[in-house]
Amino acid sequence: MIRIGVAGLGTVGSSTLDLLMNHNARIAARAGADMAVTAVCSRDKSKDRGVDLSGVTWFDDPVALAASDDIDMYIELIGGADGVAKASVEAALSAGKKVITANKAMLAHHGAAMSKMAEQTDGASLHYEAAVAGGIPAIKALREGMTANEVSRVSGILNGTCNYILTEMEETGAAFDGVLADAQRLGYAEADPEADVGGFDAAHKLALLAAIAFGQEVDFDAVEITGIERVAAEDISFAGELGYRIRLLGVAEKTEAGVSQRMRPCLTPKNSPLGKIEGVTNAVMIEGDAIGSTMLIGPGAGGGPTASAVIADVVDAARGNTPPTFGLNSATGLSAPKPAAKGGDHGAFYLRLSLADRPGALAEIATVLGAEGVSIHRMRQYDHQGDSAPVAIVTHETGEANLSRAIDRIAALDVSLAPPVSMRIVSI
């Protein structure tokens, strides 16, 4: 009998209890072992979670639950990069328990140390399928399904809230603030939306995928992060006219300059695999030398899908399928991070400018771009809005540093009436 302790009984925790208690037999059969939830920890003991918790031991302290001799497996669903979530996971690993967590922030910041602890403590293991893309078995596919491959790129749409907002902005023409407010009302965005719309939640996930893909320690600090808050309705409309959609894309690549990790709103062709992903759906694309490319699409959040990922880990842990946390032994196999320098991207970019409505304005812009080695592939000037005329430019491939210099110079020109907006164009 495997005794399971669960800390954190919110949406995912409640769904996890539902599966483990109300659907125990089918999961035990898949695990080849009897299992039961024997202990839980949550602030609110009175809430109805749809399961009978009368025979279960309640803990007030997750760390005490995690270290308890009365459990074999610890499921951490508290959240937060530090604090009791981290303390409890460390306590459970130290005590040689199987740990299952959905906590992407914690692993993005402490995954390197925690993986060593998991692999160096007898009996311990660390599982986190639920931390990335909810119902999509992305960790398993990448860590166990792609072992033959030298992975060149892992990319995806990793935050359903952002993809929902961008999809809605495109469909309704509405501005970011209004769509966000609607999303909050519908439960698709948190009251404090910063972790989602700022790109941090998705960046945590990308850092975990990159660690597995490239066999290096998690390197969250190296992720270049831009949120979607500044994506304007006119960007979406101009992008649409040019044949693109705007998506918050995570792209981690291994290049000669090192590993780059970028989480940014990008323009992507409407018919590209990631451009077709709509609403709260997530997608993960894996590209490797043997496989070519494989994409996984599914629900990125929600109680059922995330709890499904938790249970997949429970069954793996019960069966003893405990590969190294990031695919390679964290002491002897994973390399130290080798990040590429930030700001060193190379490719085509979209640029939106607000130009003064006077002769020679466009010529000044073109001169600056030319001087910085940024060549224009397509350009559209739109109707005046008051004194200014919006201009949308698609560049040929160029260095991000060149573009940054050009943007700084353009921003300083009298003819530039608002800060230029730029986004990478990515065809994945």
Minimal distance in Å, beta carbon 312 to a copy of itself?
5
Q: Three-state SS for 308? A: helix
The residue from 97, 98, 205, 254 that is catalytic is: 205
Minimal distance in Å, beta carbon 319 to a copy of itself?
6
Minimal distance in Å, beta carbon 364 to a copy of itself?
44
Interface stretch with a copy of itself, choices 5-13, 188-196, 219-227, 327-335 (CB under 8 A): 327-335
CB 245 within 8 A of CB 237: no
Minimal distance in Å, beta carbon 321 to a copy of itself?
4
Closer Cβ to a copy of itself, 197 or 297, answer by number: 297
The structure tokens listed for 47 are: 């809430």
Closer Cβ to a copy of itself, 150 or 221, answer by number: 150
Interface stretch with a copy of itself, choices 197-205, 289-297, 402-410, 414-422 (CB under 8 A): 289-297
73: β partners: 4, 98
Our answer to whether residue 254 is catalytic in this structure is no
Q: Which member of 257, 291, 371, 411 binds a copy of itself (CB under 8 A)? A: 291
Q: Which member of 30, 116, 270, 405 binds a copy of itself (CB under 8 A)? A: 30
Minimal distance in Å, beta carbon 140 to a copy of itself?
5
Binding of a copy of itself by 324 (CB under 8 A): yes
Minimal distance in Å, beta carbon 297 to a copy of itself?
5
Q: Indicate the helix (H) or strand (E) that contains 140.
A: helix 138-145
Minimal distance in Å, beta carbon 222 to a copy of itself?
22
Binding of a copy of itself by 50 (CB under 8 A): no
Q: Which of residues 108-137 bind a copy of itself (CB under 8 A)?
A: 129, 135-137
- CA 183, 187, 190 angle in degrees (round to 5)? 80
Number of residues near a copy of itself (by CB under 8 A): 57
380: β partners: 392
Contacts of 415-420 with C-beta under 8 Å, sequence gap 24+, read 415/355, 415/356, 415/358, 415/360, 415/361, 415/364, 415/365, 416/353, 416/354, 416/355, 416/356, 416/365, 417/354, 417/355, 417/356, 417/387, 417/388, 418/353, 418/354, 418/388, 420/351, 420/352, 420/353
Q: Which of residues 197-256 bind a copy of itself (CB under 8 A)?
A: 215
CB 72 within 8 A of CB 37: no
Closer Cβ to a copy of itself, 276 or 405, answer by number: 276
Distance (Å, whole) CA 67 – CA 91: 5
Q: Which member of 120, 255, 293, 367 binds a copy of itself (CB under 8 A)? A: 293
Q: Which member of 9, 99, 106, 146 binds a copy of itself (CB under 8 A)? A: 146
Q: Three-state SS for 397? A: coil
Closer Cβ to a copy of itself, 88 or 308, answer by number: 308
Binding of a copy of itself by 67 (CB under 8 A): no
Q: How crowded is residue 293: how many other Cβ atoms within 10 Å of its Cβ? A: 13
Cβ-based burial of 339 (10 A; exposed 0-12, middle 13-18, buried ≥19):
middle
- CA 292, 156, 402 angle in degrees (round to 5)? 95
Interface stretch with a copy of itself, choices 143-151, 249-257, 262-270, 394-402 (CB under 8 A): 143-151
Strand segments, DSSP code E, in 304-387 are 346-347, 349-356, 376-381
Distance (Å, whole) CA 239 – CA 221: 30
User: Treating both helix axes as pointing N-terminal to C-terminal, what angle do 361-371 and 400-411 enclose, rounded to 10 degrees?
Assistant: 150
Binding of a copy of itself by 27 (CB under 8 A): yes
Would you tell me which residues interact with a copy of itself (CB under 8 A)?
15, 19, 23, 26-27, 29-32, 129, 135-137, 140-141, 144-150, 215, 273, 276, 288-299, 302, 304-305, 307-312, 315-316, 319-321, 323-324, 327-329, 333
Catalytic residue numbers, as ranges: 205
